[in-house]
Structure 1
Amino acid sequence: MIKRVVGISLLLWVFSATGSEYLSHELNGQVLQINTDEGLVEITALANDSFEVFYQPSGIEQLPSFAIDGVAKKTELGISEKPASLTLSAPGIRAEIDKSPLRIRYFRGDNLLLAEQQGLFVEEDKRGFSFALQENEKLLGGGERILGMDRRGHRFPLYNKAHYGYTTESNQMYFGLPAVMSSNKYVLIFDNSARGEMDLGATNTDEMRFEAVGGRTSYIVVAGDSYPSLIEHYVTVTGKQPLPPRWALGSFASRFGYRSEQEVRDTVKLYQESGFPLDAIVLDLYWFGADIKGHMGNLSWDEKTFPTPVNMISDLRKEGVKTILITEPFVLSSSKKWQDAVSSNALVKNPEGKPYQFDFYFGNTGLIDVFDNDARDWFNQTYSALFNQGVAGWWGDLGEPEVHPSDAVHSLNGMTATGDEVHNAYGHKWAEQVFQHQQHLAPNKRPFIMMRSGFVGSQRYGMIPWTGDVSRSWDGLKPQVELSLQMGLFGLGYTHSDLGGFAGGEVFDPQMYIRWLQYGIFQPVFRPHAQDNIAPEPVFHKGKTKDILRTYVELRYAMLPYNYSLAFENSLTGMPLMRPMFFEDETDLSLIDEKDQYLWGDALLVKPITQANQKEVSVKLPKGAWFNFWSDERYEGGKTITVPTDIKLLPVFARGGAIIPMTIPVLSTDNYSTKSLDLHYYADKSAEHSTATMYNDDGKNPHSIRDGAFETLTFNAERKTDESQGDSLTLTLQRNGSYKGMPSSRMISLWVHNWPQDITKVMVGEKQLPNIADKTEFLNANQGTRWDSDNKTLEIKFSWKDTTSVTVF
Structure 2
Amino acid sequence: MKVVKSKKSTRLLQKLGLKTVLTTALAAALQPAFADTARSYQEHKLFDDKLVIETTDSQVTLTPLNSGALEVHYQREGMKQLPSFARAHQQLQQDVQAELNVSTEALRYSLGDITAVIHKSPFAIEYLHNGKPLLSEEHGFFANQTMRGFRFNLTDDEKLIGGGQRVLGMDRRGHRLPLYNKAHYGYSTESEQMYFSMPAVMSSNKYVLLFDNSATGTMDLGASEESVMQFEAVGGRSAYIVVAGENYPKLIENYVDVTGRQPMPPRWALGNFASRFGYRSEQEVRETIQAFRDEDFPVDALVLDLFWFGPDIKGHMGNLAWDKENFPQPVEMMAELKEQGIKTILVTEPFVLSTSERWDEAVASNALAKNLAGKPKQFDFYFGNTGLIDVFSEDGRDWFWNIYQDLKAQGVSGWWGDLGEPEVHPSDTVHAIGMADEIHNAFGHRWAQMLFENEKANNPDERPFIMMRAGFPGSQRYGMIPWTGDVSRGWGGLQPQVELSLQMGLLGFAYTHSDLGGFADGERFERTPYIRWLQYGTFQPVYRPHAQEKIAPEPVFHDRKTRRITRDFIKLRYRLLPYNYTLAFENSQTGMPLMRPLFFENENNLELMDNKSAYLWGNDFLVAPVMEDTRKVSVELPGGIWFDYWNDNQYGGDKAEIKVSLETIPVLVRAGAFIPTVADMKNTQEYTSEYLRLDYYAHESVQQSSGTVYEDDGETADAFAKGQYEKLLFSGERNEAGIDFTFTREGDGYTGAPESRNVELVLHNVTLPAAIQQGDQTIALVKREKDLTENTAWYNKREKTLHVKFPWSGASQSLSVAQ
What is the correspondence of 1:323-722 to structure 2 with a 5 Å cutoff? Answer: 323-412=344-433, 417-612=434-629, 614-635=630-651, 637-720=652-735, 722=736
Aligned to 1:140: 161
Once the two structures are superposed, what CA deviation does each residue of 1:352-388 show, in whole Å capped at 9, x if it has no partner? Answer: 1000000000000000000111110000011001000
> Which residue among 50, 58, 65 is the counterpart of 2:84?
65
Provide closer, same or farther for how the CA distance between residues 243 and 10 of structure 1 changes in structure 2, counting only shifts above 3 A: farther
Aligned to 1:26: 45
Once the two structures are superposed, what CA deviation does each residue of 1:330-351 show, in whole Å capped at 9, x if it has no partner? Answer: 0000000000000100000011
What is the correspondence of 1:722-733 to structure 2 with a 5 Å cutoff? Answer: 722=736, 728-733=738-743
Secondary structure at the residue paired with 2:127? strand
Contact 1:9 1:125 in 2 (8 A): no
Letter in 2 for 1:44: T
Aligned to 1:795: 803
> Which residue among 748, 764, 777 is the counterpart of 2:759?
748
Contact 1:38 1:58 in 2 (8 A): no
Letter in 1 for 2:399: W
**Structure 1 position 19, deviation (Å):** 4.2
Secondary structure at the residue paired with 2:781? coil
Aligned to 2:781: 771
Aligned to 1:807: 816
Contact 1:15 1:57 in 2 (8 A): no
> Which residue among 105, 110, 118 is the counterpart of 2:139?
118
> Which residue among 764, 768, 772 is the counterpart of 1:758?
768
**Structure 1 position 224, deviation (Å):** 0.3
Aligned to 1:782: 790
Letter in 1 for 2:803: E
Letter in 1 for 2:490: S
Aligned to 1:12: 30
Aligned to 2:288: 267
Secondary structure at the residue paired with 1:681? strand
- The separation in 1 between residues aligned to 2:422 and 2:328, in whole angstroms, is 31
Letter in 1 for 2:282: E
Q: Which runs of 5+ in 2 are unaligned?
A: 1-20
**Structure 1 position 59, deviation (Å):** 2.3
Once the two structures are superposed, what CA deviation does each residue of 1:146-196 show, in whole Å capped at 9, x if it has no partner? Answer: 110000000010000000000000000000000000011100000000000
Contact 1:14 1:58 in 2 (8 A): no
- The separation in 2 between residues aligned to 1:732 and 1:77, in whole angstroms, is 43
Letter in 1 for 2:762: W
Aligned to 2:7: none
> Which residue among 109, 112, 128 is the counterpart of 1:88?
109
Once the two structures are superposed, what CA deviation does each residue of 1:86-117 show, in whole Å capped at 9, x if it has no partner? Answer: 11000110000011222100000222111001
Contact 1:10 1:60 in 2 (8 A): no
- The separation in 2 between residues aligned to 1:314 and 1:566, in whole angstroms, is 30
- The separation in 2 between residues aligned to 1:224 and 1:279, in whole angstroms, is 38
- The separation in 2 between residues aligned to 1:9 and 1:228, in whole angstroms, is 46
Once the two structures are superposed, what CA deviation does each residue of 1:270-304 show, in whole Å capped at 9, x if it has no partner? Answer: 11111100000000000000000000000000000
**Structure 1 position 514, deviation (Å):** 0.3
Aligned to 2:317: 296
**Structure 1 position 15, deviation (Å):** 6.5
> Which residue among 225, 233, 237 is the counterpart of 1:204?
225
Q: What is the Cα-based RMSD across aligned positions, in Å?
A: 1.3
Letter in 2 for 1:630: W
> Which residue among 146, 149, 155 is the counterpart of 2:176?
155
- The separation in 1 between residues aligned to 2:439 and 2:485, in whole angstroms, is 21
**Structure 1 position 650, deviation (Å):** 1.1
Contact 1:15 1:38 in 2 (8 A): no
Letter in 2 for 1:72: L
Secondary structure at the residue paired with 2:201? strand
Q: Is 1:40 the equivalent of 2:59?
A: yes
**Structure 1 position 783, deviation (Å):** 2.6
- The separation in 2 between residues aligned to 1:241 and 1:89, in whole angstroms, is 29
Q: Which runs of 4+ in 1 moved over 4 A?
A: 8-11, 14-19
Secondary structure at the residue paired with 2:782? coil
Letter in 1 for 2:815: V
- The separation in 2 between residues aligned to 1:136 and 1:513, in whole angstroms, is 39
Secondary structure at the residue paired with 2:108? strand
- The separation in 1 between residues aligned to 2:453 and 2:364, in whole angstroms, is 24
Letter in 2 for 1:652: V
Letter in 1 for 2:93: K
**Structure 1 position 547, deviation (Å):** 0.5
Aligned to 2:5: none
Secondary structure at the residue paired with 1:77? strand
Once the two structures are superposed, what CA deviation does each residue of 1:701-727 show, in whole Å capped at 9, x if it has no partner? Answer: 11112223211111110012x4xxxx6
**Structure 1 position 16, deviation (Å):** 4.6
Identity %: 54
TM-score (norm 1): 0.96
Aligned to 1:236: 257
Secondary structure at the residue paired with 2:293? helix
Which has the higher mean CA deviation after the structures are superposed, 471-480 or 119-128? Answer: 119-128
**Structure 1 position 775, deviation (Å):** 1.6
**Structure 1 position 124, deviation (Å):** 5.2
The alignment covers a number of residue pairs equal to 789
Contact 1:733 1:803 in 2 (8 A): yes
Secondary structure at the residue paired with 1:231? helix
- The separation in 2 between residues aligned to 1:524 and 1:220, in whole angstroms, is 28
- The separation in 1 between residues aligned to 2:325 and 2:702, in whole angstroms, is 63
- The separation in 1 between residues aligned to 2:428 and 2:749, in whole angstroms, is 52
Secondary structure at the residue paired with 2:317? coil
Aligned to 1:79: 100
Letter in 1 for 2:601: E
Secondary structure at the residue paired with 1:435? helix
Which has the higher mean CA deviation after the structures are superposed, 676-685 or 71-80? Answer: 71-80
Q: Which runs of 5+ in 1 are unaligned?
A: none
**Structure 1 position 473, deviation (Å):** 1.5
Contact 2:115 2:128 in 1 (8 A): yes
- The separation in 1 between residues aligned to 2:245 and 2:705, in whole angstroms, is 25
**Structure 1 position 622, deviation (Å):** 2.3
**Structure 1 position 573, deviation (Å):** 0.2
> Which residue among 130, 144, 148 is the counterpart of 1:109?
130
Secondary structure at the residue paired with 1:248? helix
- The separation in 1 between residues aligned to 2:757 and 2:659, in whole angstroms, is 39
Contact 1:752 1:795 in 2 (8 A): yes
Letter in 2 for 1:502: F
- The separation in 2 between residues aligned to 1:9 and 1:337, in whole angstroms, is 47
- The separation in 1 between residues aligned to 2:602 and 2:756, in whole angstroms, is 39
Contact 1:709 1:737 in 2 (8 A): yes
Provide closer, same or farther for how the CA distance between residues 430 and 150 of structure 1 changes in structure 2, counting only shifts above 3 A: same
Secondary structure at the residue paired with 2:720? helix
Secondary structure at the residue paired with 1:550? helix
- The separation in 1 between residues aligned to 2:133 and 2:781, in whole angstroms, is 61
> Which residue among 738, 744, 758 is the counterpart of 1:734?
744
Contact 2:80 2:236 in 1 (8 A): no
- The separation in 1 between residues aligned to 2:382 and 2:568, in whole angstroms, is 40
